[in-house]
Amino acid sequence: GQNIDQPTEMTATEGAIVQINCTYQTSGFNGLFWYQQHAGEAPTFLSYNVLDGLEEKGRFSSFLSRSKGYSYLLLKELQMKDSASYLCAAGWGGKLIFGQGTELSVKP
């Protein structure tokens, strides 16, 4: 089976750095995806890790440790517009299995 866990809610301050963790247990694994979703909108792709290590894309970075079944999304220089839900998803069997999402609130 597959199990993906991430915190339900997080709060951070504008300009700060926040790390959103995701742990997964899947029988067979083909990469870890991160998406951003604003309320009532479709998810937008942020990053993808298939090998261990850090992937950096501007203010967003994502890290993967396959041996530990662990990933995190790092958001730097937080802006108010970063308030959204962040979904991690594991690739499995040709599909994406999503975690429950982390609702991030950025406060002034």
Where on the chain is the footprint of another protein (CB under 8 A)? 30-31, 33, 40-45, 48, 87, 91, 94-101, 103
- Closest to another protein by CB, 13 or 44: 44
Amino acid at 95: K
| Minimum separation from the CB atom of position 44 to another protein (A) | 7
Cβ(32)–Cβ(63) under 8 Å? no
Tallying the residues shown for the chain, one arrives at: 108
How many angstroms separate the CA atoms of 44 and 86, rounded?
Answer: 10
- Closest to another protein by CB, 64 or 87: 87
- Closest to another protein by CB, 75 or 90: 90
Block residue for tokens 């951070």: 12
